[in-house]
């Protein structure tokens, strides 16, 4: 196992809430997958969970060394959970192509949030 990238991000939950209020459905559909939205909207306050996914997408893009360039988009990085609750990144499109070219075996994620802040750490293993 070798680690080729680490990314971290923290986001103010209120920032995500304001973007959702301003851009509504357009914001949700541009940034989050259907599975992510389904998971987050189960909670009485979905915004800390949405913010954690926003932070995870940022952290993965940083760990890959690309940011959101070269075709990597918000929706090409998705956060899902294994049956035991572990968050994992699912890559599609350009993000998947870049990961394949890098020889990525796994993207490890750690998410955390409070009512006010969400943070994520991504580690890329080859």
So which residues are the catalytic ones?
A: 62, 113
Distance CA 43, CA 40 (A): 6
Q: Which helix (H) or strand (E) holds 100?
A: helix 93-102
Rg value, the chain, Cα: 14
Determine the angle formed by the axes of helices 47-64 and 13-31, rounding to 10 degrees: 70
């Amino acid at each position: 196992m070798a680690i080729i990238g680490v990314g971290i991000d923290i986001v103010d939950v209120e920032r995500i809430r304001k973007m959702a209020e301003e851009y509504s459905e357009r914001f949700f559909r541009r940034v989050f997958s259907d599975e992510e939205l389904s998971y987050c909207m189960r909670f009485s306050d979905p915004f800390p969970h949405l913010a954690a996914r926003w932070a995870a997408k940022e952290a993965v893009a940083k760990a890959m060394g690309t940011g959101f360039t070269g075709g990597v988009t918000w929706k090409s990085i998705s956060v899902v959970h294994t049956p035991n609750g572990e968050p994992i990144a699912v890559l599609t499109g350009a993000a998947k192509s870049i990961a394949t070219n890098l020889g990525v075996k796994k993207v490890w994620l750690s998410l955390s949030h409070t009512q006010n802040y969400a943070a994520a750490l991504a580690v890329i293993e080859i």
